[in-house]
């Protein structure tokens, strides 16, 4: 192999890449937060038993789960654009991952609700607790444990998916910044290798902190 590695320019642009990493975390985190909120509504809509609620929820969930995430981002970026709704690459990426997260998490939450036995609700109500108190103190804490692991995985997915922004022209997240530097310098391997390391660190940081949170939260 006569390839000469050049790491110095990469190290020089490390601060830029770290800023990109920050944006990656921001997008992934926001998409997770919004996705979680939407997923709760989707899961409730599916449980409602009313077709006009459960059918759109089903369509959302199945589209999110049965088409590529990149396709979902394209739909927002190119598809909405043709309707005259100009969506920037940042927004298309954020909304695309949010759409995807919500679809997957909705299924997770549905399973989570089912994992808390009906008898727990009964026991709480028999002590005179109201419906809201029962959900808040008894059902949701237990559901949270049932879905916590899946949510951690989805968070990592959210980080990994955010790398797709570059394909619709995003230049400010970690992959986007890396690609910009790559186009100027052609040191593809070096730049993307460092980017890979940073992604690995971000993923592990989320996984490990989730483990600490779980350890603190679920002592039982």
Partner 1 sequence: MIAIENVHKQFGALHVLKGVDLSVKKGEVLSMIGGSGSGKSTMLMCINGLEGILQGRITVDGVEVHAKATDLNKLRRRIGIVFQQWNAFPHLTVLENVTLAPRKVLGKSKEEAEAIAIEQLSHVGLKEKIGVFPSRLSGGQQQRMAIARALAMSPDYMLFDEVTSALDPQLVGEVLDTMRMLSKEGMTMIVVTHEMRFAREVSDRVAFFREGRIHEIGTPEQIFESPEKPETAAFLKSST
Partner 2 sequence: MYFGGSFSWGDFLFLLSGAVTTLSITLLAVVIGTVLGVLFGLVRASAPGWIGNSLGAVLDVFRSVPLLIQLVLFNSFNSMLKLNWPTFTVGCICLGIYASAFCTEIVRSGVDAVPQTTRRAARSLGLSWRQELTSITLPIATRVVFPSWIGLTLGVMKDTALVLWIGIVELLRSSQIVTSRVQEPLLILGITGLIYFVMSFPIARLGNQLEKKWGTQ
111: tokens are 């399973």
- Residue 10: closest CA among 171, 163, 192: 192
**What distance in Å separates the CA atoms of residue 162 and residue 160, rounded to the nearest whole number?**
5
**What distance in Å separates the CA atoms of residue 218 and residue 95, rounded to the nearest whole number?**
32
Check binding of 125 to partner 1 (CB under 8 A): yes
Q: How many residues bind partner 1 (CB under 8 A)?
A: 20
Q: How many residues bind partner 2 (CB under 8 A)?
A: 38
**What does the buried/exposed string (b/e) look like for 154-180 if buried means 16 or more CB atoms within 10 Å of the residue's CB?**
bbbbbbbbbbbbbbbebbbbbbbbbbb
Check binding of 123 to partner 2 (CB under 8 A): no
**What distance in Å separates the CA atoms of residue 166 and residue 187, rounded to the nearest whole number?**
17
CB 78 to partner 1: min, Å: 46
Choose one: 57-65, 83-91, 103-111, 130-138; the region binding partner 1 (CB under 8 A): 130-138
Binding mask 138-177 for partner 1 (x = CB under 8 A): x--xx--x--------------------------------
Residues belonging to the chain: 220
141 contact choice in partner 1, partner 2, none (CB below 5 to 8 Å, kind-dependent) = partner 1
Check binding of 127 to partner 1 (CB under 8 A): yes
Check binding of 102 to partner 2 (CB under 8 A): no
Residue from 10, 124, 155, 159 touching partner 1 (CB under 8 A): that is 124
> Torsion angle, CA of 158/34/72/150, rounded to 10 degrees?
40
127 contact choice in partner 1, partner 2, none (CB below 5 to 8 Å, kind-dependent) = partner 1
Please say whether the beta carbons of 34 and 105 come within 8 A: no
Q: Which is nearer to partner 1, 109 or 191 (CB)?
A: 109
- Residues lying near partner 1 in the complex (CB under 8 A) are found at 119-120, 122-130, 133, 137-138, 141-142, 145, 218-220
């Amino acid at each position: 192999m006569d390839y000469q590695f050049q790491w110095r320019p990469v190290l020089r642009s490390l601060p830029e890449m770290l800023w990109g990493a920050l944006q990656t975390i921001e997008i992934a985190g926001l998409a997770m937060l919004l996705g979680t909120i939407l997923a709760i509504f989707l899961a409730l809509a599916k449980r409602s038993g009313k077709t006009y609620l459960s059918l759109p929820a089903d369509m959302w969930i199945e589209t999110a789960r049965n088409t590529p995430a990149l396709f979902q981002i394209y739909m927002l970026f190119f598809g909405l654009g043709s309707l005259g709704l100009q969506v920037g690459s940042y927004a298309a990426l954020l909304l695309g991952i949010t759409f995807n997260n919500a679809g997957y998490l909705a299924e997770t939450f549905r399973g989570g609700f089912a994992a808390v036995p009906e008898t727990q609700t009964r026991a709480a109500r028999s002590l005179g607790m109201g419906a809201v108190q029962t959900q808040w103190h008894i059902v949701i804490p237990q559901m949270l444990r049932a879905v916590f692991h899946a949510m951690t995985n989805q968070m990592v997915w959210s980080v990994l998916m955010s790398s797709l922004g570059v394909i619709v022209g995003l230049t400010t997240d970690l992959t986007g910044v890396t690609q910009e530097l790559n186009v100027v310098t052609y040191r593809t391997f070096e730049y993307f290798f460092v980017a890979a390391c940073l992604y690995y660190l971000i993923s592990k940081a989320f996984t490990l902190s989730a483990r600490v949170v779980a350890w603190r939260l679920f002592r039982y």
